[in-house]
């Protein structure tokens, strides 16, 4: 383990760069979606895949690349991941059509999943045990900073430059990080792995299960619930999921320890995290369209407004982590889920002629709910599993979070598009006219109803997780 001060903080800033870039990229793109849709002459059903393919790729590959970093060494996964991320960013910037952009975003997602998978482990390896909590807490602040900076930076860029510039800015930063990674991660501690075999069957089955689920959700409006295409996708998803469970039970080197599913305070919080982020991303995906079309706001104003939910992650998350020690996770997570549901319920009644403050307090509730939820929920998960399983548990939490984001975007696109196209007799959103405002708003409000439903399920799951034994947790510390 690198012991000197300079070494561990060099590793920290290297990891912070990768996390900042990947989180920045996920938030900056949401603001740019309406501009991409207009410039590439496409529709919402297609442009939503710019977000979905990125999150779907990350969700599908996080566990696999986390395991690969243990097998082949974290340096290889980190450097290769950033290289792929740079290539994907360049391809996104040059993309001449929606299909090319979507494929490039998938490539970018592969690189991002490699960075996300090995970054926490690099921090843990670089810092001594007594300093790891502080370092990981600072990484949490970096995540919040990336999510917060994205909308503002995206709005500023879109005000003066093309949407393609949001991808080009990744290239010089990424190239610097690759060179620094080759120099800083130069010890055997970061380069060597266990050389155990990778669970290839488990990896492929997980990719197949998640991909078929997302395709089914996004195409349900076109195919119909009872069509042969929908049935085939449903069968593939269920079969791949069952196959993954069977494989993980019977392989010697699994991607996921199935024994964790017997731990109540692991399973329920992980599932509730998926519902929380699905609800959050219904709002994050839909709000830029609402602000730019019915409200008629400029890109810079839209970006400034969209920063609000993420500011709560930056400032409230540390406080919620402290409150966990007194109240436990269930009360705080119930309060967080309740705030998210209230935010979506209030957005069911918003109108474009209302003042900006009416937008701000509504989306602030979503940010407050997320901030109250995330830290206590993650702490509950990590406290419920053994030390040897915390790496797998961390990967499972990240997978649930990203999968929730994917499902949120897919559901938002499905509900909004099916409603809007029905009202306009097939006229898509890219041909928006002021006369379509009533139809837009009805479709928007229906989408928020879906968010409320998700929050209700999240509240129920959070309640039934039960309380922790806080006295026991304090004694373990």
Q: Do domains 1-198 and 262-477 have the same CATH topology?
A: yes
Q: What is the pLDDT of residue 165?
A: 92
> What's the rounded mean pLDDT across residues 56-68?
87
Average pLDDT over residues 161-185: 89
User: How many CA atoms lie within 13 Å of 363's alpha carbon, on the beta-carbon side?
Assistant: 25
- The first and second tokens of residue 126, run together, are 């670089």
Distance CA 72, CA 404 (A): 29
- Of 39-43, 108-112, 149-153, 440-444, give the lowest mean pLDDT range: 149-153
CATH of the domain spanning 262-477: 1.20.1250.20
Q: Tokens 């919402």 correspond to what residue?
A: 44
CATH dotted code for 1-198: 1.20.1250.20
Buried/exposed 436-470: b ≥16 CB within 10 Å, e otherwise: bbebbeebbbebbebbbebbebbbebbeebeebee
pLDDT surpasses 90 at 87: yes
Cα distance between residue 448 and residue 343, in whole Å: 9
- Cα(427)–Cα(286) distance, integer angstroms: 18
Between CA 405 and CA 222, with CA 46 as vertex, the angle to 5 degrees is 95
Residue 148 has pLDDT above 60, yes or no: yes
Residue 3 confidence class, pLDDT cut points 50, 70, 90: very low
Q: What would the two tokens of residue 166 be?
A: 């949001």
Question: Buried b vs exposed e over 75-100: b needs ≥16 C-beta within 10 Å?
Answer: bbbbbbbbbbbbbbbbbbbebeebee
pLDDT, tens digit, 9 for 90 and up, residues 366-403: 999 998 998 888 878 877 887 667 667 777 888 888 88
pLDDT digits (tens, 9 = 90+) for 223-282: 888 899 999 999 999 999 999 999 998 888 888 888 888 899 899 999 999 999 999 999
153 vs 474: which has the higher pLDDT: 153
> Is the separation of the CB atoms in 227 and 39 below 8 Å?
no
| Span between the terminal Cα atoms of the chain, in Å | 23
Determine contact, residues 49/414, Cβ cutoff 8 Å: no
Q: For residue 475, what pLDDT is reported?
A: 44
Domains of the chain, by residue range, sit at: 1-198, 199-252, 262-477
Do 402 and 52 form a contact (C-beta atoms < 8 A)?
Answer: no
Residue labelled with tokens 């207009």? 38
């Amino acid at each position: 383990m690198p012991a000197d001060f300079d070494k561990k903080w060099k590793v920290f800033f290297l990891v912070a760069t990768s996390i900042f870039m990947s989180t920045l990229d996920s938030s900056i793109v949401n603001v740019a979606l309406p501009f991409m849709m207009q410039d590439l002459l496409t529709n919402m059903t297609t442009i939503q895949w710019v977000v979905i393919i990125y999150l779907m790729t990350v969700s599908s590959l996080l566990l696999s690349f986390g395991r690969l970093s243990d097998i082949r060494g974290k340096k290889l996964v980190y450097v290769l991941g950033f290289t792929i991320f740079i290539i994907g960013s360049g391809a996104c910037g040059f993309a001449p059509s929606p299909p090319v952009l979507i494929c490039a975003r998938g490539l970018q997602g592969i690189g991002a999943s490699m960075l996300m998978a090995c970054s926490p482990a690099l921090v843990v390896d670089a810092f001594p045990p007594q300093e790891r909590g502080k370092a990981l807490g600072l990484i949490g602040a970096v995540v919040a900073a990336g999510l917060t900076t994205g909308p503002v930076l995206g709005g500023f860029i879109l005000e003066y430059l093309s949407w393609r510039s949001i991808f080009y800015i990744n290239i010089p930063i990424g190239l610097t990080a690759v060179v620094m990674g080759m120099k800083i991660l130069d010890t055997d501690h970061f380069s060597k792995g266990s050389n155990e075999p990778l669970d290839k069957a488990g990896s492929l089955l997980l990719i197949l299960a998640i991909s078929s689920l997302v395709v089914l959700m996004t195409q349900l409006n076109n195919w119909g619930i009872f069509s042969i295409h929908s049935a085939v996708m449903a069968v593939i998803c269920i079969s791949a999921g069952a196959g993954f469970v069977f494989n993980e039970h019977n392989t010697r080197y699994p991607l996921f320890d199935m024994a964790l599913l017997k731990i109540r305070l692991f399973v329920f919080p992980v599932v509730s995290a998926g519902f929380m982020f699905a609800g959050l991303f219904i709002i994050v995906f839909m709000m830029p369209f609402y602000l730019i079309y019915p409200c008629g706001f400029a890109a810079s104003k839209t970006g400034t407004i969209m920063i609000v939910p993420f500011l709560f992650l930056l400032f409230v998350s540390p406080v919620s982590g402290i409150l966990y020690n007194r109240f436990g996770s269930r009360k705080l997570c119930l309060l967080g889920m309740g705030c998210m549901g209230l935010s979506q319920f209030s957005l069911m009644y918003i109108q474009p002629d209302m003042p900006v403050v009416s937008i701000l307090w509504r989306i602030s509730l979503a940010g407050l709910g997320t901030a109250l939820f995330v830290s206590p929920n993650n702490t509950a998960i990590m406290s419920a599993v053994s030390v040897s399983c915390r790496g797998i548990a961390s990967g499972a939490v990240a997978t649930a979070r990203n999968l929730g984001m994917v499902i949120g975007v897919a559901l938002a696109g499905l509900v909004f598009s099916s409603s809007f196209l029905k009202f306009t007799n097939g006229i898509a959103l890219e041909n928006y006219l002021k006369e379509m405002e009533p139809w837009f708003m009805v479709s928007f409000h229906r989408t928020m109803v879906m968010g409320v439903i998700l929050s209700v399920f999240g509240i129920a799951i959070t309640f039934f997780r039960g309380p922790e034994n806080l006295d026991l947790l304090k004694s373990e510390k």
